[in-house]
Amino acid sequence: MKAAVKKVVAAIKPGGRLFFRDYGRYDQAQLRFRAGSKLQENFYVRQDNTRAYYFSTEEIDELFTEAGLVSIENEYIRRQYANRQQNVVRFRVWVHAIFEKPLKAVGATHI
């Protein structure tokens, strides 16, 4: 994952921003996975063979700040969805973050 983040950061111009939103830890979809679906900690395989990873805000902050970005925002977004017809309530969690690549320091000129 760190290699992918480094490639993304390399593509951002100084002063540019990265907007991140993905599944957050303890999302109801994560809690519903069966034990056999777990590949690693917080990493699962769905029935259609696609993968899902559930991030924490701390993990996202560490990934992107170690790659040289500055954290502007980093928070959980929590929503409750109700399907009244099926009488089901779902609690969803996402990580929402904004990071910025610092401007390169311009050397001072002396006269």
Q: Which domains does the chain have, with CATH numbers?
A: 17-100 (3.40.50.150)
In 3D space, the residue among 33, 34, 28, 7 whose CA is nearest the CA of residue 18 turns out to be 7
* Section 84-88 average pLDDT: 89
Average of pLDDT values for 68-75?
98
Torsion of CA 41, 47, 48, 49, to 10 degrees: 40
pLDDT per residue as tens digits for the range 20-42: 999 999 999 999 999 899 999 99
Looking at per-residue pLDDT, the higher value among 104 and 71 belongs to 71
